[in-house]
C-alpha cells in the first residue's frame, strides 16, 4: 500500500481524466456556517498537490461567506465510470492574490466578465437583469484585459484526512484512510466497507 495519499490521488485523478466522460475535476464541496448548518454544492478542482486542493469562487457567495465563518470543509470526488470515490476533509485558507490573478487570467473572457456581473448566491429579479449587467461589463472592459474582481478568489483545502473508496463486488468495498500526522507524514489504515 502507498503511504503517500497525494501520489495515489494523482494516479486516480489521471485515470479519471482519461476515462471519466464528464468533468473528472468536479467535486462536491461541503461547508457549514458558524452554527453548523451544512451546505453542499459542486465545484471544479483547479489545482492540487501536497499543499492542498484549490477551487475558485466569488468570495461573497454563500460558500465564500461560510468558509470565512467556519474554515473547515469536505470534498468528495465521485468517478462513477471507475467506481471510485475520494473523500477529503480539512481546513481551508484563501489563496494569495497572485495565485488568484494567475488563474483568473486563464479563464475565458466571458467567464471573467461573468465574475464581475454576478452577485453570486444573491437573489436575482430576472435573467434579463443579469444579462444586462453582463452587457455593461462588456462595455466597461471593451478593448482591455479584464482584471480579477476584488470579491473573487480561491480557496485551498489543506487535508487532514483523505479516504480512497473502491467499489468491489457484493458491497465488499475497499476503503483506505490516510490521516495527517503532526510531522507532516501520513498514517494509513483500512476501514470496514
Catalytic residues: 171
11 contacts 186 by C-beta, under 8 angstroms: no
Q: Cell 485558507 maps to which residue? A: 93
Q: How far is CA 27 from the centre of its chain?
A: 6
Cα(60)–Cα(17) distance, rounded to whole angstroms?
Answer: 31
**Roughly what angle, to the nearest 10 degrees, separates helices 127-140 and 109-117?**
120
- What is the C-alpha separation between 48 and 8, in angstroms, rounded? 12
Q: Provide the 10 A C-beta neighbour count for residue 46.
A: 16
CA distance 41 to 24: 15
Quick check: helix, strand or coil at residue 84?
Answer: strand
Contact 58, 151 (CB under 8 A): yes
Amino acid at each position: 500500500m502507498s503511504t503517500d495519499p497525494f501520489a495515489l490521488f494523482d494516479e486516480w485523478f489521471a485515470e479519471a481524466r482519461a476515462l471519466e466522460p464528464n468533468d473528472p475535476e468536479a467535486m462536491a464541496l461541503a461547508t457549514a456556517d458558524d452554527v453548523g448548518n451544512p451546505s453542499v454544492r459542486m465545484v471544479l478542482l483547479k489545482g492540487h498537490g501536497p499543499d492542498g486542493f484549490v477551487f475558485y469562487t466569488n468570495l461573497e457567495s454563500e460558500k465564500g461567506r461560510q468558509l470565512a465563518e467556519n474554515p473547515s470543509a469536505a470534498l468528495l470526488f465521485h468517478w462513477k465510470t471507475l467506481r471510485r470515490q475520494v473523500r477529503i476533509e480539512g481546513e481551508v485558507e484563501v489563496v494569495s492574490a497572485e495565485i488568484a490573478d494567475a488563474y483568473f487570467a486563464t479563464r475565458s473572457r466571458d467567464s471573467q466578465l461573468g465574475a464581475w456581473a454576478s452577485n453570486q448566491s444573491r437573489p436575482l429579479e430576472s435573467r434579463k437583469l443579469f444579462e444586462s449587467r453582463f452587457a455593461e461589463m462588456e462595455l466597461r472592459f471593451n478593448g482591455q484585459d479584464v482584471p480579477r474582481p476584488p470579491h473573487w478568489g480561491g480557496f485551498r483545502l489543506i487535508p487532514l484526512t483523505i479516504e480512497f473508496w473502491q467499489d468491489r463486488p457484493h458491497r465488499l468495498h475497499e476503503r483506505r484512510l490516510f490521516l495527517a500526522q503532526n510531522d507532516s507524514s501520513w498514517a494509513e489504515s483500512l476501514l470496514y466497507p
